[in-house]
Structure 1
Amino acid sequence: MTPIDQLNNLTTNSLLFAVVITLTITILLLLYNNPFRKQLVIELDQLKTSRAVKLVVTTLIVVTMHIFYGLFDDAVDSASHAYLVLQVSLMGFSLFLLLTIHNVHQYIKEVVMVTDSINTAWKQNQAYEESMKISAKEANLIRTKISCLKTEITKLESRCNIKEQELQSKRADCSALKNQLEGLHAEYDRLLAYSEDVRDQLRNINESISHSSEKEVVSFDEEKDRSEKTGSWPWSRWGL
């Protein structure tokens, strides 16, 4: 192995170690709560949608497979073989760390979604409890109003009973007055009939008196004419 190959291998190994350390730090930042995790999740969301990152991962997989197949080449000396084993190990571990970051990132997103759902449900539960408290207060107010209305209804029923009793008493009084009025009408009719009878009797008496008076006048005139003819007046007949 030439010194240039050794330098290239050292540079590649240093770069791979830096990648492994960076990926490890990224995993630690994702696993533990810290001020950088939220921003890191946002950056990973943007990187996962980038085509460049997908291209880098694909290239890393291809290079790893190429180096892995190079291990079985008989022309490679022991020192180069050791470097290749180290590089394959670092690349494989880097791929494993990338897969771990992907899974942790997905897990964190799901946890965030579940946490948001829980917070939303908790807020809804709080709002529901508040509404239930308000509903309970309103229910108590409604119960109080119902109790007051029942008391008022009881008072109105008692007043209605009193008014009904008064109405029945008034009806009884009206019935008694009606009976009295009917009695007075009957008495009035009886008195009216009696008055008619008395009038008829008086009329008959007057007629009889007037008839007898007419007879006496006629008799008096006849006697007068007779006396004038005879020249004498029968005073004894008239009680004189």
Structure 2
Amino acid sequence: MNPRLLIIEDDSEFADYLKRGLTYEGYQVQVANSAETGMSLLKASQPDLIILDVMLPGIDGMAACRVIRQTGYSGPILMLTARNAIDDRVTGLDAGADDYLGKPFGFDELLARLRALLRRQGTIGNIITFADLELDTSLYCAYRHGREITFSQTEFELLRLFLSHPQQLLTREIILEHIWPGTQENRGDVLDVYVLRLRRKLGNPSLIHTVYGMGYILKEDKT
């Protein structure tokens, strides 16, 4: 299961930006625009990680962090703030935050912080699963129907890309840029060959489906 994130951020435009980007990266994302709403969502479902803005209306992020920890939540909390003073960072960490990211920040830096926190928590491991398929990213092989499947480097990277974006349409352009960055020209037929190889190796029922004229999508075949 992909990691579940709860974003508590009162800037709706910024929160939407984070949600869209993180959803594209394979995370399951919920958004709350206040600490009170966030804590209500937390009672209903425990996320794997909380992204918490410091400057919130009503209960601010520092106080919210303390209350969240008092409820028994033990997952990582990443605090976001436009204030970069060391004292503010210390206060946030003392309140129960695991890491601190000052605005503005690059999206790649955010992703790196999330991976580090989730890895420390044990949420991210070496196995990526979808349906009855397991991909071992440390051994470069997969398991399905009780059999081991090995891949070339390119086949492995292509399958990992699909598994990182389950049930999402990946256009041919996105795939080509990810697998063969900067050299998309004349690679379209090569991509089709690699997808065919993956389908053959993974067997039936098919998991990689063609969206004609657009690209491919990883989903279970319900037919």
Common fold: TM-score over 0.5: no
TM-score (norm 1): 0.18
Q: Return the structure number with greater strand share.
A: 2
Q: Return the structure number with greater helix share.
A: 1
TM-score (norm 2): 0.19
The structure with the largest alpha-carbon Rg is: 1
